[in-house]
């Protein structure tokens, strides 16, 4: 697809544009528990961790099997309810604790080499979008601002906000509608063979696979997905656009 044919480039976020460096989920869960204690949810650590894991696994199946997104606030609230507390996912105390929980993750995100250069060059040629599978949308917006790349995007679509996850076509269609382009006028760049390549292809977009810290070329081969192009790094992405026929 020549650049003249492209009206929008849509990116995946974590893995594609940013790396996650030095992050520990266990440390974040400890901070979540302590934050909930500070908000008045006085419960034993082991009991909370067990309840949290049970609720997390319940909704993980929904998310990965039905592609319906469920926010962290739902399973945190459900874990607390199972321990005898009266609480809902909308409770401000839960949201405050989640902000603490995710701060280390936000701080662990670093731009991949060439990310800002690619965004600048692409922005000069067409509309840009971002689609992220993420259970708590404030994390995406906060990290985009922290990395100073938020202004590059004409639209940002987070699964938590629309209720559907990649590879569901619904989240890709939502982004296309916001960008006001047809699927065959857009290219999707991502690092997940299934969520990104399979999902975008089924939605009618051209695709470029980018290996990452999470997904390798071997993973792509094993998935049997066939992207339109494979880019070795972000710097070579623009060159790969010319290899895709209109």
pLDDT tens digit sequence for 20-36: 999 999 999 999 999 99
Q: Say if CB 186 and CB 9 are below 8 A apart.
A: yes
Which ranges of the chain does DSSP label H, i.e. alpha helix?
25-38, 45-66, 72-82, 92-108, 115-123, 137-146, 159-162, 169-179, 199-202, 217-223, 237-241
The rounded percent of the chain whose pLDDT value lies above 90 is 92
Average of per-residue pLDDT values in the chain: 95
Where are the chain's structural domains? 3-17+112-241, 25-107
Task: Report pTM.
Answer: 0.94
CA atoms of 14 and 130, how far apart (whole Å): 10
**pLDDT above 80 (res 3):** no
CA atoms of 152 and 130, how far apart (whole Å): 10
**pLDDT above 90 (res 144):** yes
Residue 210: which of 21, 20, 16, 19 has the closest Cα? 16
- Per-residue H/E/C for 164-217: ECCCCHHHHHHHHHHHCCCHHHEEEEECCHHHHHHHHHHCCCEEEECCCCCCCH
Q: Say if CB 89 and CB 116 are below 8 A apart.
A: no
CA atoms of 19 and 12, how far apart (whole Å): 12
DSSP bridge partners of 208: 189, 229
Q: What pLDDT was estimated at residue 245?
A: 52
Mean per-residue pLDDT, 174-198: 97
**pLDDT above 70 (res 244):** no
Task: List the structure tokens of 180.
Answer: 């006001």
Residue 75: which of 142, 43, 63 has the closest Cα? 63
Q: For the domain 3-17+112-241, what is the CATH superfamily, name and number?
A: HAD superfamily/HAD-like (3.40.50.1000)
**pLDDT above 90 (res 163):** yes
Q: What pLDDT was estimated at residue 4?
A: 55
**pLDDT-derived band of residue 139, with 50, 70 and 90 as boundaries?**
very high
């Amino acid at each position: 697809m020549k650049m003249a044919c492209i009206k929008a480039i849509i990116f995946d976020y974590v893995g594609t544009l940013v790396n996650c460096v030095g992050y520990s989920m266990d440390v974040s869960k400890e901070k979540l528990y302590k934050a909930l204690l500070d908000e008045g949810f006085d419960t034993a650590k082991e009991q909370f961790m067990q309840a949290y894991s049970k609720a997390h696994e319940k909704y993980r199946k929904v998310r990965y099997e039905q592609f319906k997104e469920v926010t962290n606030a739902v399973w945190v609230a459900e874990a607390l309810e199972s321990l005898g507390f009266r609480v809902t996912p909308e409770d401000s105390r839960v949201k405050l604790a989640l902000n603490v929980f995710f701060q280390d993750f936000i701080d662990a995100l670093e731009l991949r080499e060439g990310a800002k250069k690619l965004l600048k060059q692409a922005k000069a040629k067409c509309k840009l979008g971002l689609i992220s599978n993420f259970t708590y949308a404030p994390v995406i917006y906060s990290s985009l601002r922290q990395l100073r790349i938020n202004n590059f995007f004409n639209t940002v679509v987070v699964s938590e906000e629309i209720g559907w996850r990649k590879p569901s076509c619904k989240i890709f269609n939502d982004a296309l509608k916001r960008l006001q382009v047809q699927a065959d006028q857009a290219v999707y760049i991502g690092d997940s063979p299934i969520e990104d390549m399979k999902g975008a292809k089924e939605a009618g977009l051209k695709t470029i696979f980018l290996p990452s810290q999470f997904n390798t070329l071997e993973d792509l081969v094993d998935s049997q997905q066939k992207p339109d192009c494979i880019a070795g790094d972000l710097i070579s992405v623009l060159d790969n656009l010319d290899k895709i026929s209109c």
